[in-house]
Structure formats: structure tokens, C-alpha cells
Structure 1
């Protein structure tokens, strides 16, 4: 009987020469998981805060849906645009830094060689080995600039695509942020079938917070239970505040 593959054998299999070559030659674009997770968190928190505030003021279900939908669309678009502009600005900043490094190499090549030398020395290169490594890196302008970008300026990996990041953020914001409204929409379509829609909305949103928290924990390397409870606490605090404001302002108008 063939033994089942273990984690160790699987890890060894992914580090053969062919596997490494295929992995390095594959698609290395940054993951969109971070954009999606944080879009989902923000969408759920802000939409449920609106729902809680309106419910606290004891307004009608139609008002809940109208205000919640308006918030969902406006904030979702705003967050996507902010992500797009922020990511694009970071790319532009990176491009400017690369142009600066290329100009420095052109104007003060020996000074830039010394920077490479000190970078490699800090990594443990010494003597003849150090000088040979400096010669290899500075012989190729692209490799030289890449080295300075990563080891001197701290730019690591490929830049994310601004449009893809924005779309992932907005999609997650809209889809997951709709959870607090889903019960009210269902109750409006089939009146009276859902008792205490705010309670159901609260429960559904809490489940959403927990799931999002687990996904967020994977992104940031956090313990899953802690990530789930942390997101639930933050979302619950925002909702409680909005509900309290709605109760206080109930008699206004």
C-alpha cells in the first residue's frame, strides 16, 4: 500500500528544480484577497451601522432599505475609488523612485556601486566573494536598479493593478455589505413572513463578521478565533453606537 503523502513530502515536491522553475515563471501578480477582505469588513460594518441607526429610531423598513442601499452604493464606490487612487499613487511613487535610481547610477556610478557593496556586506558577503557579487549585479542595469529598489528603498514584489484592486474592493463591499439589508428586502417582498427582522439582520451580520474575521486572520497571519472575535467586536461596537444614536434622535423631527 502506498503511503499517503505527508506535508513534508509535499513541501519537498514543491521545491524540486522543475517545480521552482515553473513557480517563478508563473503569474506572480499580487493577491486581491487583502482588498476583498477589507472591502467586505468595511461594507458590513458601515451598512449594518446604518441599519442599526434607523432601526433604533424605529423608522419603517422602506427607510432602512433606502438609506442602507444608498450607503452601500455610495460608500462602496467611494472606497473603490480611494483604493484605486491610493494604489495608483503608490505605483507612480515607485516609478519615480526607479527613475531616480537610474539617474543616480548614471551620474554617480561608483557611489551606487558602494551602496550595493554595503548592502551585500550586510548580507554576509566578504572579500573576493563580495567584489564578484558586486560586479555581477552592477553589470546588468536592470538587476542593479532592482537591487537598489528592493534593498535600499524597500520596494518588494510586483505592484498591484489599481483597477483590479478597486473592483475586488467594491465587489466584496457590495456583496457582503448587503447581508444586513437582505432580511429587510426579503420581508418587504413577502410581508409578515419574517418576525423581528432586525434580530435576524443582527444574527446574519454577526455570522458575516465572524467569517470575514477568519478570512482577515488568514491575510494578516492572525489566529483565526482572535481575528473572528476582533472583527465581531469592532463591527458590534459600530452598530451599537449607531443604534444608540438612532434611539436618542428618535423624537427629533
Structure 2
């Protein structure tokens, strides 16, 4: 069995100690975290039995001065044969929100290949951009797949915050400031995400589940390849421990 936990920790989380303890209590084999503030690293590095692997998540670019650096982190207590990082570029988010916040999002994504009793499994961790068009997020998803999965025959677990925000009513209310284009105004982004999963043979373990209460959104996911992974148990955290997202946990069996 492989227990995987995925969670957007929230960069401005004021309860990091409590959040890290919550992760530890669940005893996951692999942990995928997004929006990890540098202050969290001493606590994460102190978790006994885990190796830590990091990549850049997002930052703010104020005329070349980079601030608010946030990270992606994978923790593993299984042997890791490979840690891979894909760079997605450092262009500022092309939207009103992006211009105001100076966000540079989805700088990198990461993956590890862990050794289980049933063989190698690839676990991918990503945080797609928020203040961009749906088309831009589709490009990022394609880059994640090409960079981390490709033609690998390993079982794949794809974790992260996919920021699938687009729904007709939210597009009309706020989409224009977040980069939604006219052609996307009446598009339900979940339909695009469902098509992506079907195309690549992924099962959504948390489909149509509220993971981000602030936006009433299903932004966070654990996806597994249907041909060689089975989900035996799944749960979504009730408490958020200072984050604006709920954590996801799944027990998986490769076959």
C-alpha cells in the first residue's frame, strides 16, 4: 500500500506547526505540498524518516526584485530513485490580478520515482497558475505531462492544486480580472479537466469535491493511472490548520 497526501499549505499560513503535526499524524508515505513558505522548512526537515525534495512554486517580481518565494515540496519515507524538476518559465501572470500582485506562477513542477514493494511509482507535484486564462493552464498541464510522465510505463500519481476556477457564473463575475478570455466566458473548466483525465487515462479520486471553500471550488486533486493503480481508501480533511485548502489523502495499491 502507498499512502499519498496532497495539500496546498498556503503561503501565508500562520499555523505551520499545527499543520505539519497534522501531516505527521496521518503517516503518509509520500507528501506533496504546494505554497510552502521558507519558514516551514525547519519543521518539515525535522520529520523523522522522510527525505525532502523541493522546487520553486511562485514568487512576486517587483522590477527584478523577487519577493514572497514559495515552494513545492515532496516528502518521502520510501526510497527515491529520481527527483525531477521541470521549469515552466518565469513570465508574469498575464491578467489584471497578475499585474497588480506581480505574481510569477507555476515556475516549476516536480516529481519523484519511489520504490514500493510492487515496483516503481512516479508521484508528480504541481501548482498551476491562478491568474491566467484556461488555455494557459491547459498548456501548463501539457508541460507537466510531457516533462514528468512522457511514455513512462510506471504507475503515476498526479497531485496538486490545478486551479480549475473557471465556471460560467464565476467567469462572468470575476473571470475578467483573472485572465479569462472572451472565448472562455461560458466554458466550465471542469469539463476541460475531465477531458484531460480521460485522454491520459487518469481517475479523479476527488472529483466534484469542495477543496477550496473560499471559491466553492474543486481545485485540488489526486489523479491516478487507471491501468495500474487502485484506490483502497480516500479522505478529505475537515480541518484546514491555517490553510485555505483542504488536504487530500489516498491509500493506493499498484498492480
Q: Structure 1-normalised TM-score?
A: 0.25
Q: Structure 2-normalised TM-score?
A: 0.25
The structure with the greater share of residues assigned to strand is 2
Question: Larger RCO: Structure 1 or Structure 2 (Cα < 8 Å, ≥ 6 residues apart)?
Answer: 1
